[in-house]
């Protein structure tokens, strides 16, 4: 098969592209605004991999790249709640406009299926647990709104133009290649790198907020299962259990062997208080279930960051 991975130099996209390259031809599209060339070091000389530096906001580039593709994995996005609060127009341009471009280019090029990254942030602070796909959206940030708009476009394109579209609502993905240096970085790489530097992890809020974490390898598998199936629609992709940030900090202290009391800062606007997923729809539609426990994933991730730090 010939697959496209937008955002393929990013955290999830590069892991996905590397797995696909074992068996398929892969075209990676990334403008390197948040993706990194070093994430592609195992792929850049691969005979079956092509890297195209460019943005999903460039429609002509997508038309050229999508010709002859069997499927598109759309991972490119401005994927940060705090950044979207500060930069809503830019977030909309990439996440909504870019997704529209991907869908329309797929239609124009006759690509039969698009599997796209969405987010659990769409559920907002609805107090019902676990979150299931039939719940009414209650987005709290421009990021969540932009991802919800993408889902709606996906359904419309499926209904009007016959493209099979799958939108995977990722919960809290973690693992190797996640960038801890950004101001907007996710919590696990920030906690790990702070501890490895023998500094206290920073928690925004009281630390009792909860997250449903999932290892990146399971997210990669979910994408491939969805592409290889005949499924369409919206699906939660998560570990199916939740842990507080205070407990997470404690677990990582045990794994690293470095104990520092967290620093507590005021909550950030737009952040969701709690999350927990019902993943039964993905299991029934394309056989997805997490294969890596939280503890196993955390050990793998700490090992990767430790090896990188020398």
Q: Which residues are the active-site residues?
A: 143
Q: By C-alpha distance, which of 294, 272, 301 is closest to 195?
A: 301
CB atoms within 10 A of CB 161: 13
Closest CA to 73 of 277, 172, 220: 220
Integer Cα distance of 203 and 246 in angstroms: 8
Q: Report angle CA 138, 143, 149 to the nearest 5 degrees.
A: 70
Separation between Cα atoms, residue 168 and residue 229, nearest integer Å? 14
Name the β-bridge partners of 239: none
**How many angstroms separate the CA atoms of 231 and 224, rounded?**
12
């Amino acid at each position: 098969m010939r697959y496209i991975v937008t955002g393929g130099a990013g955290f999830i996209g590069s892991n996905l592209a590397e797995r696909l390259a074992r068996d398929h031809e892969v075209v990676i599209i990334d403008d390197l605004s948040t993706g990194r060339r070093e994430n592609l070091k195992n792929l850049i000389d691969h005979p079956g991999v092509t890297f195209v530096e460019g943005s999903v906001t460039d429609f002509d580039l997508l038309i050229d790249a999508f010709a002859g593709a069997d499927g598109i994995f759309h991972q490119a996005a401005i994927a940060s709640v705090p950044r979207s609060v500060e930069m809503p127009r830019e977030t909309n341009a990439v996440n909504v406009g870019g997704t529209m471009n991907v869908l329309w280019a797929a239609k124009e090029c006759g690509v039969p299926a698009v599997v796209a990254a969405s987010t659990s942030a769409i559920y907002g602070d609805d107090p019902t647990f676990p979150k299931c796909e039939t719940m009414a959206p209650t987005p709290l940030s421009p990021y969540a709104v932009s991802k919800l708009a993408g889902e709606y476009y996906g359904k419309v394109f499926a209904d009007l133009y016959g493209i099979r579209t799958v939108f995977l609502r990722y919960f809290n993905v973690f693992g190797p290649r996640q960038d801890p240096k950004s101001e907007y970085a996710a919590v696990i790489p920030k906690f790990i790198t702070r501890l490895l530097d023998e500094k206290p992890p920073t928690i925004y809020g009281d630390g009792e907020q909860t997250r449903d974490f999932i290892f990146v390898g399971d997210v990669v598998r979910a994408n491939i299962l969805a592409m290889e199936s005949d499924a369409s629609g919206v699906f939660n992709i998560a570990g199916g259990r939740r842990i507080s940030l205070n407990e997470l900090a404690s677990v990582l202290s045990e794994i690293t062997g470095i104990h520092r009391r967290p620093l507590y800062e005021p909550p950030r606007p737009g952040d969701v208080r709690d999350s927990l997923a019902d993943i039964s729809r993905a299991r029934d539609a394309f056989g997805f279930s997490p294969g890596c426990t939280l503890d196993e994933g955390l050990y793998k991730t700490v090992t990767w960051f430790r090896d990188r730090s020398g």
